[in-house]
Structure 1
């Protein structure tokens, strides 16, 4: 599955009010200069060093909230509503006329054990993602998972900047349930060796709603304790 548009919507006015607080400081240019043309900038709400200007996203680091997040109470509420461990959390701004070239981000597939969430704060009709040749337009306040381990690119052909809140999360039982509810097909290799009884029952309940052969096979294995 290349992407999920979650049935989750956030308050754009509150997100923009939060954004106004951090637009007052300098945002570093993105470090992957070979991957874009134009102006692509970021500021961290959670980073390995705890510094707002540390915009690197490295798997396996211990991450800390930054001073920028302390000025964004609504964004913090959103982040806390995701009941999983988080790594890097950033705001990324793509200026008008800028292009992020086709590339891959290894390790960003849900099946790898981590995932990346995009929540548009500011956008326009000229902003779109291309993921494996399919174009997507993400609207402000929506919430998306995109498998960035696949080839993707982004363009901003509009007249205003595009700013997204981007959360890198670590997969767990809670996220498995959420992804399954939105059609993500968990395979046998995706499941951990065992769940506790309550979690096992919840997963079976969600799989039963899918009513597919794969889901039925997984239910049988879960009930058998395999």
Structure 2
């Protein structure tokens, strides 16, 4: 039997949990006394990009370094994702987020003002075959405040939890007089989260070209070789736009623990925090198990690249070194 294809999957799915819309809306008052920052994109190099010119504002609840002013979704870089001070003011929403069975990156409250319309765009990293998904939990909305995703118009309701394939073309449009506020949650897809999808999705999620990540380990084990650790990585491995991550010239790289305790890979002048997959394998923080590293204890480092259930790997020489 042929495995189901992502190309034929629906553009969105409502997940099984629903949450208390009244409590979510009531809590929102605790964080609306000030003007939120403008929505920004995340650019190559780990920086926040240019601010949007429409009335589309963001309050970060989880961000790189727990920065309460950073409104972009973040990505791989020297900092890990952490809760901001704003999440402390939203205890019910914090409880909801803790219930999501998946490693979590950015979480943002996103407010689309009256009359705001975004340009059509794609967010290519949020793909099931990359193991990264974006969820929406609406808090306030209006029938005239819509998401158009892959040509289909959606108006998701407060308290519902939705998955959307935002690698497809989409835009948001608010022609009402009210502000639409959604909680936008970026997570890694796990088998536990996949179980929240409707029954009609389960064949794709269990047999299709989907990358399932591990849940965050209960205990973080140290890097299994002595640090600092020297290796040489193909130039494509830390380039998240590269189509062939295992190819390219070999560049000197170093893995070590930073003063704040974060295990960090430094290559080509850039630093990347690493996150544990299990006891021996590590991924880039802010990314999925689409790219991982695993020391073999025998003078080598295994680099692995996944696309759905497909796996490619490459062993490069590596060893502990004198600081």
What is the TM-score of this pair, normalised by structure 2?
A: 0.56
Aligned-partner Cα distance in 1 for 2:211–2:30: 41
1:28 corresponds to which residue? 37
1:68-79, aligned counterparts within 5 Å?
68-79=86-97
Aligned-partner Cα distance in 2 for 1:193–1:172: 5
Among candidates 93, 103, 106, match of residue 88 of structure 1: 106
User: Which consecutive residues of structure 1, in runs of 5 or more, have no partner in the other structure?
Assistant: 195-226
* Structure 1 residues 27-57: Cα deviation after superposition (integer angstroms, max 9, x where no partner): 1011259896630100100000212111121
1:156-175, aligned counterparts within 5 Å?
156-175=174-193
* Structure 1 residues 163-190: Cα deviation after superposition (integer angstroms, max 9, x where no partner): 0011101112212332364525133442
The answer to whether the 8 A contact 1:97-1:156 is kept is yes
* 1:43 to 2:59 alignment: yes
2:159 corresponds to which residue? 141
- Tell me which structure has the larger Cα radius of gyration: 2
- Give aligned pairs, total: 194
The answer to whether the 8 A contact 1:96-1:158 is kept is yes
Aligned-partner Cα distance in 1 for 2:186–2:192: 15
* 1:58 to 2:74 alignment: yes
1:190 corresponds to which residue? 210
Question: Per chain length, whose mean CA-contact separation is higher, i.e. which structure has more relative contact order (CA < 8 Å, sep 6+)?
Answer: 1
User: Which consecutive residues of structure 2, in runs of 5 or more, have no partner in the other structure?
Assistant: 1-8, 42-48, 215-323
- Higher strand proportion: 2
Aligned-partner Cα distance in 2 for 1:110–1:188: 10
Deviates more, 1:75-84 or 1:130-139: 130-139
CA RMSD of aligned residues (A): 2.3
Q: Secondary structure at the match of 1:99?
A: coil
Change (3 A) 1:191 1:98: closer
Deviates more, 1:1-10 or 1:171-180: 171-180
- Higher helix proportion: 1
What is the TM-score of this pair, normalised by structure 1?
A: 0.78
Aligned-partner Cα distance in 2 for 1:141–1:179: 16
1:213 corresponds to which residue? none
* 1:117 to 2:135 alignment: yes
